Chain A
Amino acid sequence: MRPSDPLVELRNITKTYAGPMSRFKRRTLRAVDGISLTIRQGETLGLVGESGCGKSTTGQISARLIAPSGGRLIYRGEDITDAGDGARSRALRRRIQYVFQDPYASLNPRFTIGRLLGEPLAIHRMAGRKERHARVAEMLETIGLDASHARRYPHELSGGQRQRIGIARALILNPEFVVLDEPVSALDVSVQAQILNLLRKLQRDFALTYLFISHDLNVIYYMSDRVAVMYLGKIVETADVDTLYSRPLHPYTQALMSFVPSDDLRPKREKIILRGDLPNPLDIPAGCPFQTRCAHVHGRCLAEAPELKEAGPGHSVSCHLYS
């Protein structure tokens, strides 16, 4: 891999699910509809969108928890889409990790914390028992918990502590690339700040690359270098974070950004209130997916789906207004 190559690349990834039958026709759910992303080493790419936009699915595909229906997944210049389940897959699992949103459900309730953290090492046969113990103790300290927590069970810890364990478990194999799926959404604001600080510190200390998925615009701004906005399975805009938040081009992004509070916590005066609802992912209309709510919709939008095109340096947008 050349230094200028991206670490992770998604090329035209799609994921479809068979939906319920409707009048003798099986509708398909296009959770992810042809998205392409690049993530450079050491950066944090924020992926933002509302429910049903497919960001979680994208995250799980990037971390190889789900197989895509189409498209290629490239890691360090190598195509890993069909890595399967064998030795090559296991090697990849050491490099690419995933942190779940729900700190309650993602830890086996029957395991002690020590066992939960040591498990990745055991599965990959990377350390004997004594060494595992030492690594676990070291990791607990790194995430700000006491080594005595190794003897406790998940239900004895608070939400914030559980999330730290989830993060620690992902990091104990020394991965390069970590997908974080709404890691702070389930937490109170004061605990959220602790976790965000921890994530930034770990990124610096361990030279990690993050794909950070969230619906919270403030958190995305704080954590990301670049941001991609998703709507109904498609990427509608990508840019570096300052440009996206100050000069959004896509009407959807503009609406989202109008809700970001300024520093005195009051939203900016000119809030853009979209009309209509989030459309059903089973019934995505032909043409641009945003047509049902866009204030600038015109004829071409109904007929033709726009492509993601570059509108400025490092700034791409998928909208007929700009092509």
Chain B
Amino acid sequence: MRGMRNHSLALGTLFVSILFAIMLISLVYTPHPPNEMNVRERLQAPSARHLLGTDNFGRDVLSRVMFGSQTAFQVGAVSVAIGLAGGFLIGTLAGYAGRWIDELLMRAMDALLAFPGILLALLLVSVTKPSLFQTMVAIGILAIPSFARVIRAGVMQHKEADYVKAARGLGAGNANLIFVQIVPNIASAIVTTAALNFSTAILIEAALSYLGLGVQPPDPSWGRMLNEAQSYLTKSPWFALAPGVMITLSVLGFNLLGDGLRDLRDKSN
């Protein structure tokens, strides 16, 4: 594109697309069944048959890593969805109604934000049996404050704009004003926040799974693969490298995407 110096956007889109492609492929094909154990072939270095080697149970690392991307995307998507839904509700209410409702809701958001993310997630998953579902819900709740803030700011800014007054003067009701008039004007801010939260979600899931409190076996997760690979770090480094690199690329990709989208929006303003 002529004049496109938005490297963040380009790189971010590239990384995310590659990951997405890997995830899609893994839905129908992986070189080996990801959970198939073959003790005789354990801890093999990368070869023609196992492009990324095998783990301590003889499972193909490449296949497990590919499969793990499904978990990553699933957790990311669902938790962002929860965060967006909750954040939209709270942000719109606070921004539109204002006054004490705004105060109340925003103090609640501040309280939520005051906890370090991982600790809060740990707290939430440890009160019940850890599972994929718990993980997604916990991370989703964590994402609510950032969406709420962004949406509230946007709503407050646009609420007083002349074009909203004009629509009200034409007889538009509150629902129309919020959803039809204001939301399209804050959509790009929401998308940026979503991208950034996606990367946080992947990171937190990896951490939880590493600690054994997230996704449970036999479901594959990059975080747990890291945990399993810990003991073999010196003898079979590829075993840890693969999921580590995937986590890094995913988080980097979504962060770059988020930054790139924000730059795009700032420039067009």
Is A123 touching B171 in the complex (CB atoms < 8 A)?
yes
Number of CB contacts from chain A to chain B under 8 A: 56
With A105-B162, A110-B184, A110-B185 already in contact, the answer to whether A119 and B169 are too (CB < 8 A) is no
Contact partner of A105 (CB less than 8 A), chosen from B163, B170, B184, is: B163
Expressed in whole angstroms, the Cα–Cα distance for A173 and B166 within the complex equals 14
Q: Using Cβ atoms and an 8 Å threshold, which residues of chain B touch A120?
A: 170-171
A65 CB-CB contact with B under 8 Å: yes
Closest residue of chain B to A107 (Cβ to Cβ) is B163
Closest residue of chain A to B181 (Cβ to Cβ) is A108
Contact partner of B165 (CB less than 8 A), chosen from A94, A106, A119, is: A106
A96 to chain B, nearest CB (A): 9
Q: Using Cβ atoms and an 8 Å threshold, which residues of chain A touch B167?
A: 108, 119, 123
Contact partner of A123 (CB less than 8 A), chosen from B161, B172, B184, is: B172
B253 to chain A, nearest CB (A): 28
Q: Using Cβ atoms and an 8 Å threshold, which residues of chain B touch A102?
A: 162
Is A63 touching B176 in the complex (CB atoms < 8 A)?
no
Expressed in whole angstroms, the Cα–Cα distance for A110 and B164 within the complex equals 12
What is the interface size of chain A, counting residues whose CB is below 8 A from a CB of the partner?
Answer: 26
**Interface size range of chain B in the complex:** 10 to 19
For window 158-197 of B, CB contacts with A under 8 Å fall at 161-173, 176, 181, 184-185
Expressed in whole angstroms, the Cα–Cα distance for A107 and B163 within the complex equals 5
Is B162 touching A100 in the complex (CB atoms < 8 A)?
yes
The interface of chain B, by Cβ under 8 A from chain A, is 161-173, 176, 181, 184-185
4 pairs of A and B residues whose beta carbons are closest in the complex: A93-B171, A105-B162, A106-B162, A110-B184
The interface of chain A, by Cβ under 8 A from chain B, is 63-65, 85, 89-90, 93-94, 97-98, 100, 102, 105-111, 119-120, 123-124, 166, 169, 173
Please name 27 pairs of A and B residues whose Cβ atoms are closer than 8 Å in the assembled complex, sorted by A: A65-B169, A89-B171, A90-B171, A93-B169, A93-B171, A97-B169, A97-B170, A98-B166, A100-B162, A100-B166, A102-B162, A105-B161, A105-B163, A106-B162, A106-B163, A106-B165, A107-B163, A108-B163, A108-B167, A108-B185, A119-B170, A120-B170, A123-B171, A123-B176, A124-B170, A124-B171, A166-B166
